[in-house]
Amino acid sequence: MERGTVIKSTGSWYQVYSDAGTVVQCRLRGQYRLKGLRSTNPVAVGDKVAFEYEPHGDSAVITDIFDRHNFIIRKATNLSKASHIIAANIDQAVLVATLDQPRTSTGFIDRFLVTAEAYHIPVLIVFNKTDLYDETLLSAMRKLEQVYQKAGYETMSVSALTYQGIDPLKQRLTDKVSLFSGHSGVGKSALLNVIDPALKLRTGEISTIHNKGKHTTTFAEMFQLGFGGWIVDTPGIKEFGLHDFEYETLSHRFPEMRQLMHNCKYADCTHVHEPGCAVLDAVANGLIAGFRYQNYINMLNNDFTADN
């Protein structure tokens, strides 16, 4: 028996990167069922598996799937209760954001962070295109970095054009499995090309046109960084399953609120109107950033029109 990591799946065949460093074509034996999880795909990119070579030929059969450290899912179709596992065992999500061309709203950043919290995936926020920022935007970026760092997130500022901040980013990706996310046009491909020139990814492409009509776009893929580490690419799911929020636990997904809510007078405090609310106090005192709180309220109200 050998072990490896699933790096690509087409539905019936899986590419497994073996611990020996080779890529092996694998299929799944019989019906593989997952306990407690109704999923349309039993094996996903990132899964750690055991496999056995078939007696004749180079291909192999997956015999075991090891427990997942985490995974991200989406509903298989809008109506079904079954889910599709996009990727598993992700060390970190890298959220690429920009303050200009295009501007990423904090509403989007915060929804992303809430989703990642729910999946137990640490997030590194990377502000790209710093070469385009004037003093006003630079200072706005520094303020955002302060707020997010205080909340417990790591942030970086980089430019794929001038290479500013690229080395520290490279270090943070080394030997990790990273999911690269962010709106189209923020420079994900450009950054990855600068980080590892061997990748030769296309930049400046409208991904929705690029991906149209291809069945394989529902499957994620992992590609290897030359200096060690993996990038998870999820075509067509750039915003990685921003899903329906659980309203009761939404404030738990804001680390700076989670820290304080035990001081609220009521155990079931929603931090909206209740007296003796520690979160409202912290917002009033500037300990919690006003825009973070506003995004929390917008999420509670399911209102993303007033995105700030």
Ligand X SMILES: Nc1nc2c(ncn2[C@@H]2O[C@H](COP(=O)(O)OP(=O)(O)O)[C@@H](O)[C@H]2O)c(=O)[nH]1
- Applying CB under 6 A, the residues found at the interface with ligand X are 128-129, 131-132, 159-161, 182, 184-190, 203-205
Comparing CB distances to Zn ion, the nearer of 232 and 264 is: 264
- Only one of the segments 63-71, 171-179, 256-264, 284-292 lies at the binding site for Zn ion (rule: CB under 5 A); that segment is 256-264
Query: H/E element holding 227?
Result: none
| Residue 143 · residue 151 · CB < 8 Å | no
> CB under 5 to 8 A by kind: which of Zn ion, ligand X, Mg ion, none does 160 bind?
ligand X
279 belongs to the binding site for Zn ion (CB under 5 A):
yes
- Shortest distance in whole angstroms from residue 89 CB to Mg ion: 23
| Residue 233 · residue 240 · CB < 8 Å | no
Residues 177-196 that bind Mg ion (CB under 5 A): 188-189
Comparing CB distances to Mg ion, the nearer of 157 and 189 is: 189
How far does Cα 257 stand from its chain's mean position?
21
Position with the least CB separation from ligand X = 187
Q: Which two tokens stand for residue 254?
A: 């804001």
| Residue 16 · residue 7 · CB < 8 Å | yes
Comparing CB distances to ligand X, the nearer of 13 and 163 is: 163
- Shortest distance in whole angstroms from residue 278 CB to Zn ion: 6
> CB under 5 to 8 A by kind: which of Mg ion, ligand X, Zn ion, none does 159 bind?
ligand X
What are the backbone angles phi and psi of residue 107, rounded to the nearest 5°? -60, -45
The count of other CB atoms within 10 Å of the CB of residue 230 is 23
User: What whole-number distance in Å separates Cα of residue 7 and Cα of residue 248?
Assistant: 36
User: What whole-number distance in Å separates Cα of residue 168 and Cα of residue 94?
Assistant: 13
Comparing CB distances to ligand X, the nearer of 108 and 296 is: 108
Binding positions for Mg ion, rule: CB under 5 A = 188-189
